[in-house]
Amino acid sequence: MNDISIGGFPLDLLALQLVTGVALGAIYVLVGIGLSLIFGLMNVVNFAHGAFFMVGAYVGVFLYGYTGSFWLSLVAAPLAMGLLGLAVERVLVRPLYGRGIDDPLLLTFGLSYVMVESVRIAFGLTGLPFGAPPELRGAVDLGIGYFPLYRLFLIAFSLTVVGALWLFIERTSFGLVIRAGARDPQIVQVLGIEISKVWLAVFGLGCALAGLAGILAAPLQGVTPEMGIPVLAEAFVVTVVGGMGSLAGAVLAGLLVGIVVAMTSLVAPDMTKMAIFALMALVLLVRPRGLLGRAGALG
């Protein structure tokens, strides 16, 4: 322990709190990216995003019970949610394209209720117990104090996923089509690319990311039908703060929100929930389109 302190808190504690914030942010980033991606490309505000997060966790935990492999769940949960996302886009969302932002919003809002209620009926209200896999349990001494191993894994894993996603979008030709589609879908169509297939793929990808975030969050908080509700609010904040449709913005904003939560809980614990929204208000005052957002994303 050292004696340096800021605002009455030892430096060690502040550093540890920062790491906690980054780990919190890692989940926000994963949920936020999916939401932002879907919105940025197709102007669909996916209100069912939290429900995909929750169902992903259930799928993962259910499979973990069957196979005993957390790693398999980590693959299966996003895969299942991706497939479900594809089906939802094809059958439910697609007929609503061109009808403004409200219709898909209401549809996904209703869908989230159906998903939550179905899980309640299938798995009950109590929720399922779920802890980190044995190989990721325990805490590690970071030199500044003990920190849970699982949360370190969470940071590393999320960074890897985000890195892979960045490479996919910035360095592949399909990524190029996605970016182009977000700018001007009509021109992309004219160039002979079926934009509807791109939309389908991106909606699936966004839902897969929500499912992945769900199974990653499961060991931290257990699995309940309502676990997606607070997450949805946080994901929206991340999307708005980062800028609608911006991948880098979602990463930056996710981490920022995590750190703000962690630091607020140190000085004013009862204000943590409010701090997220205060941050959002502040960012919107200074930069109405978010930190890294395109101009007129909502226009």
Partner 1 sequence: MTTGFDRRRLLQGSAAASALALAAPALLRSAAAQGGPIKIGFPVPLTGAFGAEANDQVRAAQLAIKEFNEAGGFQGRQAELLVRDDKLNPGEAAGRTLELIEKDKVNFLVGGLSAAVTLSINNVARERRVIYNSISQSDAINEAKDFGRTTFHEALNPHMTAGAVGRYVFPKSGKRVAFLSADYAYGHEMVRGFKRAGEASGIEVVADIRHPIGASDYSAFLPRIAALKPDVLCLCNFGRDQVVSIQQATEFGLKRNTKLVAPVLLFTSRKAGGEAFDGVIGGTSYYWRLEDTVPSAKAFNDRFRAAYNGAVPSDYGALGYAGVRSVLEGVKAAGSVETDKVVTAMEGLKADFYKGPQSFRKCDHQLVQSVLIVESKSKGLKTPDDVFTILGTEGPDERFLRGCDELGHKA
Residues that bind partner 1 (CB under 8 A): 9-10, 12-13, 16-17, 20-21, 23-24, 124-132, 138-139, 145-148, 150-151, 219-222, 224, 226-227, 230-231, 234, 261-262, 264-266, 269-270, 272-273
Which CB sits closer to partner 1, 137 or 183?
Answer: 137
Under DSSP, is residue 141 helix (H, G, I), strand (E, B) or coil? Answer: strand
Which residue, 54 or 241, is less far from partner 1 as judged by CB?
A: 54
Q: If residue 140 lies in a helix (H) or strand (E), which one and from where to where?
A: strand 139-141
- For the bound state, the minimum distance from the C-beta of residue 65 to partner 1, rounded and expressed in Å, comes to 12
Could you tell me the smallest distance in angstroms from the CB atom of residue 80 to partner 1?
Answer: 23
Sign of CA dihedral 103, 45, 84, 167: positive
Q: Least distance (Å) from partner 1 to the CB of residue 158?
A: 15
Closest to partner 1 by CB, 25 or 181: 25
What is the C-alpha separation between 157 and 152, in angstroms, rounded?
9
Q: Is the Cβ of residue 202 or residue 256 nearer to partner 1 in the bound state?
A: 256
- Smaller CB distance to partner 1: residue 134 or 192? 134
Residues 156 and 149: beta-carbon distance below 8 Å: no
Among residues 287, 10, 290, 46, which one has the least CA distance to residue 144?
10
Are 207 and 34 spatial neighbours (Cβ–Cβ below 8 Å)? yes
Distances (CA, A) of 189 to 41, 103, 170, 193, 232: 14, 23, 20, 5, 32
Cβ proximity to partner 1, 21 vs 40, nearer residue: 21
100's CB contacts (< 8 A; 6+ apart) are none
Give phi and psi for 126, each to the nearest 5.
-70, -30
Q: Which is nearer to partner 1, 10 or 175 (CB)?
A: 10
Q: Which residues contact 266 (CB under 8 A, 6 or more apart)?
A: 9, 13, 14, 17
What gap in Å lies between CA 291 and CA 57, rounded to an integer? 30
Please enumerate, as own/partner, the contacts of 116-120 that have beta carbons within 8 Å and a separation of 24 or more.
116/51, 116/54, 116/225, 116/226, 116/228, 119/54, 119/55, 119/58, 119/225, 120/225
Taking the complex as a whole, the smallest distance from the CB of residue 20 to partner 1 amounts, in Å, to 5
Query: With respect to partner 1, which residue has the nearer C-beta, 116 or 177?
Result: 116
Q: How far is the CB of 271 from partner 1 (least distance, A)?
A: 8
| Shortest spacing between CB 251 and partner 1, in angstroms | 19
CB of 268 to partner 1, least distance (A): 10
Residue 25: CB minimum distance to partner 1, A: 11
